[in-house]
């Protein structure tokens, strides 16, 4: 665990020394919300957006608004990253509903939320993946287009199973397809594609995460007058795509060279342009 540090309710320790009560609902039931982000030059990237999304996830899961105190969390992120000692760090921030005095599934009133943060030096994406693209493997998941925004909940069993299946298939990431045959997103990423010069990505209404990197990629595309369509992509049409890429807060834009048996030029010209434009946004954000 070298290089991995933790903060539990503000107490910073090496991760192997961190302690969370066994009766904490985050441990017992996955009753917690979380965010993952990176730091650049020692500063959390797009912190305000991550905090807003954390609060939105908390509201959707019934966490009291005071459970997510932005000033407290920002100070704890700073202290934790100071312990890590790297300008570029990977940070995972979780807020659980707190400790139940028994094993009841229904939460008690008046619980004190638990804040758990982890950080380590950011591991750069393999340059070969950036240069030549990654491989995705499709996996079928239940349809989720119920019109409700997606909360980032700590229970990740579905994503774990999807990633294991993808790795067993020789892929780097799983690509979710719903039971109606519509492409959704990666297990840990947002999916974009290019067809006939149009940048495509599934709409939020299909039940995908409102990715923060997704927002910025869409913004830079529109600013550059790139045609954009947030529309369903049929899995059966994957072989009609010209380019594809995935993105996330800790990896930026990563080109895709194959999805199952469908191959692509990687990185394609629009993928390369979006990657460069996103990195320019990051630099501008850092000032």
- The residues with which 24 forms a beta bridge, in sequence order, are 99
Q: For position 19, what pLDDT does the model report?
A: 96
**What's the pLDDT score for residue 108?**
86
Domain boundary among 121, 155, 182: 121
What span, in angstroms and rounded, lies between the C-alpha atoms of 170 and 173? 9
Does 181 share its domain with 247? Answer: yes
pTM of the model: 0.94
Q: Check whether 266 has a pLDDT greater than 80.
A: yes
For 79, which DSSP code?
Answer: H
**Which has the closest alpha carbon to 254: 195, 209, 189, 198?**
189
Structure tokens at 261: 């048996």
Name the phi and psi angles at 238, rounded to 5.
Answer: -60, -30
64-68, 80-84, 280-284: least confident range: 64-68
Same domain, 98 and 177: no
**pLDDT over 50 (residue 1):** no
Among 65, 98, 121, the domain boundary falls at 121
Which pLDDT tens digit goes with each residue over 142-186?
998 877 778 899 888 899 999 999 999 999 999 999 999 999 999
On whether the CB atoms of residues 113 and 63 are closer than 8 A, the answer is yes
The answer to whether 162 touches 155, Cβ cutoff 8 Å, is no
Are residues 108 and 186 part of one domain? no
Reported confidence tier of residue 234, pLDDT bands at 50, 70, 90? very high
Report the C-alpha gap between 5 and 17 in whole angstroms.
9
Q: Give the total number of structural domains in the chain.
A: 2
- Here the CATH number for the domain that contains residue 116 is 3.30.470.10
Q: Are 8 and 92 in contact (CB under 8 A)?
A: no
Question: Which of 133-146 are b and which e, b meaning 16 or more Cβ less than 10 Å from the residue's Cβ?
Answer: bbbbbbbebeebbe
Residue 176, token pair as written in the block: 């979710």
Write the pLDDT tens digit of every residue in 20-64. 999 999 999 999 999 999 999 989 999 999 999 999 999 999 998
95 and 226 share one domain: no
Do 81 and 160 lie in a common domain? no
Mean pLDDT of all residues in 219-238: 97
Query: Mean per-residue pLDDT for 216-238?
Result: 97
Mean predicted lDDT score pLDDT of the chain: 95
pLDDT digits (tens, 9 = 90+) for 93-130: 999 999 998 999 998 888 999 999 999 999 999 999 99
Residue 188's nearest CA partner among 162, 220, 169 is: 162
Q: Which domain holds residue 132?
A: 127-286
Confidence (pLDDT) at 2: 66
Residue range 260-269: mean pLDDT, rounded: 94
Q: Give the residue from 81, 96, 121 where a domain finishes.
A: 121
Do 115 and 188 belong to one domain? Answer: no
Q: Taking the CA atoms of 117, 130, 278 and 164 in sequence, report the sign of the dihedral they define.
A: negative
Query: How far, in whole angstroms, is CA 49 from its chain's centroid?
Result: 13
Q: The domain that contains 202 carries what CATH number?
A: 3.20.10.10
Peptide bond into 267 cis (omega under 30): yes
CA 119 – CA 114 distance, rounded (Å): 17
Q: Are residues 113 and 29 in the same domain?
A: yes
Across 240-268, average pLDDT: 96
Residue 143 and residue 274 in one domain = yes
Instruction: Report, as an integer, the average pLDDT of 236-265.
Output: 96
What CA–CA distance (Å, rounded) separates 109 from 167?
42
Q: Between vectors from CA 34 to CA 60 and to CA 188, what angle results, nearest 5°?
A: 105
Structure tokens at 172: 């780097």
Give phi and psi for 226, each to the nearest 5.
-80, 130
Asked if 154 and 96 sit in the same domain, the reply is no
Residue spans of alpha helices (H) in the chain: 25-29, 47-60, 70-84, 127-132, 157-168, 212-223, 269-286
User: Token digits for 144?
Assistant: 């989720």
């Amino acid at each position: 665990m070298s290089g991995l540090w933790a903060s539990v309710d503000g107490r910073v320790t090496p991760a192997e020394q961190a302690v969370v009560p066994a009766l904490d609902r985050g441990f017992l039931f996955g009753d917690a919300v979380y965010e993952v982000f990176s730091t650049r030059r020692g500063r959390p990237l797009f912190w305000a957006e991550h905090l807003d999304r954390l609060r939105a996830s908390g509201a959707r899961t019934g966490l009291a608004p005071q459970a997510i105190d932005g000033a407290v969390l920002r100070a704890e992120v700073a202290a934790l990253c100071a312990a890590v000692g790297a300008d570029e760090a990977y940070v995972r921030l979780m807020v659980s509903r707190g400790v139940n005095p028994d094993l009841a599934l229904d939460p008690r009133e008046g619980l004190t939320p638990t804040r758990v943060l982890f950080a380590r030096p950011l591991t750069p994406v393999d340059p070969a993946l950036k240069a030549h693209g990654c491989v995705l493997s499709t996996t079928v998941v239940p349809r989720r287009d119920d019109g409700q925004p997606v909360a980032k909940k700590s229970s990740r069993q579905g994503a774990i199973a999807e990633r294991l299946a993808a790795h067993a298939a020789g892929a780097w990431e799983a690509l979710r397809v719903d039971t109606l045959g519509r492409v959704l997103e990666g297990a840990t990423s947002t999916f974009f594609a290019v067809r006939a010069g149009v940048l495509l990505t599934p709409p939020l209404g299909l039940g995908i995460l409102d990715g923060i990197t997704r927002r910025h990629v869409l913004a830079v595309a529109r600013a550059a007058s790139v045609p954009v369509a947030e529309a369903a992509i049929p899995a059966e049409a994957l072989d009609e795509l010209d380019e594809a890429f995935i993105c996330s807060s800790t990896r930026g834009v990563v080109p895709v060279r194959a999805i199952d048996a469908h191959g692509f030029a990687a990185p394609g010209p629009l993928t390369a342009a979006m990657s460069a434009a996103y990195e320019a946004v990051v630099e501008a954000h850092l000032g």
